[in-house]
């Protein structure tokens, strides 16, 4: 996988950070090791996004997964807590814009 470089606006970064924040809400990360790895990836990805630093390939793939889950939650294709869904709704247009950009990374994902 080649180096990944994105030009993200502040609203993009906010939407991505929220998408990362709610990843545990989807319920597919269960084992302690997976949860620890997911938390570490979310934390490092979020920090790099906020500082406008380049993401590693693994971080970019995790962000792509977060975007995909948020996209599906907004479309009703994934279950999520109603409170978190209502907090996600203000980012709907940004998530819809970012989903086709990040979705190709899911094919190359290796967590």
User: Tell me, what's the pLDDT at 20?
Assistant: 92
User: Tell me, what's the pLDDT at 63?
Assistant: 93
DSSP string for 17-42: HHHHHTGGGGS---SHHHHHHHHHHH
User: Tell me, what's the pLDDT at 71?
Assistant: 97
What are the Cα distances from residue 3, in Å, to 6, 54, 79, 80? 10, 9, 32, 32
Query: Would you state the structure tokens that stand for residue 22, as one six-digit string?
Result: 């709610």
Per the CB < 8 A criterion, the answer to whether 42 and 63 are in contact is no
Q: Which mean pLDDT values do the consecutive 10-residue runs of the chain (111 residues) have?
A: 70 94 77 65 90 89 94 94 93 96 79 49
User: Tell me, what's the pLDDT at 50?
Assistant: 92
- 41 occurs within a structural domain: yes
Domains held by the chain: number: 1
Q: How far apart are CA 95 and CA 106, in angstroms?
A: 15
Per the CB < 8 A criterion, the answer to whether 9 and 50 are in contact is no
- 3 occurs within a structural domain: no
- 16 occurs within a structural domain: yes
- 60 occurs within a structural domain: yes
- 5 occurs within a structural domain: no
Look at residues 11, 25, 17 and name the one whose alpha carbon lies nearest to residue 42: 17
User: Tell me, what's the pLDDT at 66?
Assistant: 94
User: Tell me, what's the pLDDT at 24?
Assistant: 80
Q: Which domain holds residue 52?
A: 10-106
């Amino acid at each position: 996988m080649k180096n990944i470089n994105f030009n993200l606006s502040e609203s993009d970064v906010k939407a991505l950070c929220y998408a990362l924040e709610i990843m545990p809400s989807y319920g597919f990360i269960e084992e302690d090791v997976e949860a620890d790895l997911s938390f570490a990836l979310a934390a490092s990805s979020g920090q790099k996004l906020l500082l406008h630093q380049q993401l590693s390939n693994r971080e970019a793939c995790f962000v792509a997964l977060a975007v995909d889950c948020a996209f599906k939650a907004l479309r009703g294709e994934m279950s999520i807590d109603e409170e978190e869904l209502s907090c996600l709704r203000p980012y709907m247009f940004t998530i819809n814009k970012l989903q086709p950009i990040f979705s190709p990374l899911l094919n190359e994902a290796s967590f």
